[in-house]
Amino acid sequence: MRDDNCIFCKIANGDIPSKEIYEDEEFKVILDLGPATKGHALILPKNHYRDLYELPDEAATKVMLLAKKLASGMTQKLNCDGFNLVQNNGEAAGQTVFHFHLHLIPRYEDDGQTLGWKAM
Ligand code: 5GP
Ligand code: ZN
């Protein structure tokens, strides 16, 4: 379930270092290299799935439950005012790394970002 040419496979499985904020058997959560806001995190399955179409139902359920848990922790820890949970699916939608991931982006009043469906 790995693609040797995939940077997120390497990060999720520890071959390339990253700023990790959470890890379990199936997922790794890291800070984005080019954060949209302070605390911008990426939730990566350790297995390689290109996009949401390839993500098995069981992994889809787990990743959403994990996002929910992390969002609560993040809100408390960073004292953010809201968050965006984003998945860019396909090149036309702005996906640049073809290993499924969710962006969890803390939002702060007056953070100056205009994230929406166009952003990232
Ligand atoms: P996408 O455009 O595919 O939805 O998101 C890819 C995200 O991965 C971008 O926000 C980009 O900043 C981030 N990214 C790309 N390469 C790396 C990397 O090597 N390390 C980390 N931590 N983030 C990366
Ligand atoms: Zn991969």
57-101, pLDDT tens digit by residue?
Answer: 999 999 999 999 999 999 999 999 999 999 999 999 999 999 999
- Whether 114 is in a domain gets the answer no
How far apart CA 31 and CA 104 sit, in angstroms, is 9
Does the structure show a pLDDT above 80 at 16?
yes
- Whether 115 is in a domain gets the answer no
- Write the residue with the smallest CA distance to atom 18 of ligand 1: 33
The contacts found for 89-94 with CB under 8 angstroms, 24 or more apart, are: 89/51, 89/52, 89/53, 90/51, 94/119, 94/120
- Number of domains comprising the chain: 1
Does the structure show a pLDDT above 90 at 35?
yes
How far apart CA 33 and CA 14 sit, in angstroms, is 16
CATH of the domain at 38: 3.30.428.10
Residue 26 CA to ligand 2 centre (angstroms): 13
SS3 of 5, please?
coil
- Whether 28 is in a domain gets the answer yes
Q: Percent of the chain, pLDDT > 90?
A: 91
- Whether 2 is in a domain gets the answer no
Q: Which amino acid is at 89?
A: N
For the Cβ of 30 lying below 6 angstroms from any atom of ligand 1, the answer is yes
**Domain ranges, residue 23:** 7-107
Is 101 a catalytic site residue? yes
